[in-house]
Amino acid sequence: MLNLSVNPTQHLWNEIFTKKHQQRKFVRRAEDLGLSAVILSLKRDYDTFYEIYGETVRGAGGNPRSFPFFTSLWSELGPDHFKVLAMKDSSGNLVGGLGFHLFPAKRSAHVIIAGYRKNVPGVEVNLVNEWHLMLWCEKNGVELINFGATPDDPNSGLYKFKRNLGATFARCFNVSNVVAPKPVYALAQRTNGIIGAMRG
């Protein structure tokens, strides 16, 4: 999690981004190469972004979410609540991006899906894309950024990457609703009734 009201981008740039971790170097290198950040709106760009996302996830040994899942995010949440902030090179080619759920009522953004090309020389596109997300959020009144799931391990590469963006680890718990078959549900109800009677 990153709270921009506590750590604004100017503070991150001056105090958190360091020579050792080269965040400023990658951002400046991206600028020199003509990379720019844009909010996607064209279907062909969404298709290309999904391809990049799939390559990124499979390259890390994972299984990407389906294309219908991706398109449903945009159709169900709508462009006011689901956006893809992408990086394009000087020729207009997509080299990376991240999709996030925007929750204006809480002034928060939650990264859901991300993917990056690795053929941009001297640039960590993912880091530069995250930086531009911070700038976009700050400009648009978003204070809290959730960069997505991270292993609860300070030694993991993903943990270190997000820490170097100025984020802090926030432990959370998944809560699921389980639909039980009617016989099981009825048994549970009867059991609860018996326990209640015993306590009474």
> Is 76 inside any structural domain?
yes
> Is 101 inside any structural domain?
yes
> Is 19 inside any structural domain?
yes
What percent of the chain is predicted at pLDDT more than 70?
74
pLDDT in tens, 2-35: 888 888 989 888 887 877 778 889 999 999 999 9
SS3 153: coil
> Is 134 inside any structural domain?
yes
Is the pLDDT at 163 greater than 80, yes or no? no
* 40 or 171, greater pLDDT: 40
CATH of the domain at 70: 3.40.630.30
pLDDT score at 196 = 43
| Contact between residue 140 and residue 80 where contact means Cβ atoms under 8 Å apart | no
List the end-to-end C-alpha distance of the chain, in Å, as a whole number.
46
Which range scores top for mean pLDDT: 60-64, 71-75, 153-157, 178-182?
60-64
Q: Checking phi first, is residue 107 left (phi over 0); if not, alpha (psi -120 to 50) or beta?
A: left
Residue 127 tokens read as: 């880091």
User: Could you list the residue range(s) of the whole structural domain that residue 118 is in?
Assistant: 2-172
> Is 138 inside any structural domain?
yes
Dihedral sign for Cα atoms in the order 135, 144, 177, 63? positive
pLDDT in tens, 108-160: 999 999 999 988 888 889 889 999 999 999 999 999 898 865 555 555 555 55
Is the pLDDT at 177 greater than 70, yes or no? no
> Is 179 inside any structural domain?
no
> Is 195 inside any structural domain?
no
Contacts of 13 (CB under 8 A, 6+ apart): 24
Domain count, the chain: 1
| Contact between residue 91 and residue 35 where contact means Cβ atoms under 8 Å apart | no
Q: Of 98, 90, 102, 94, which is closest to residue 162 (Cα–Cα)?
A: 98
> What would you report as the CA-atom Rg of the chain, rounded to the nearest whole angstrom?
21
Q: With bands split at pLDDT 50, 70 and 90, how would you rate the model's confidence at 37?
A: very high
> Is 24 inside any structural domain?
yes
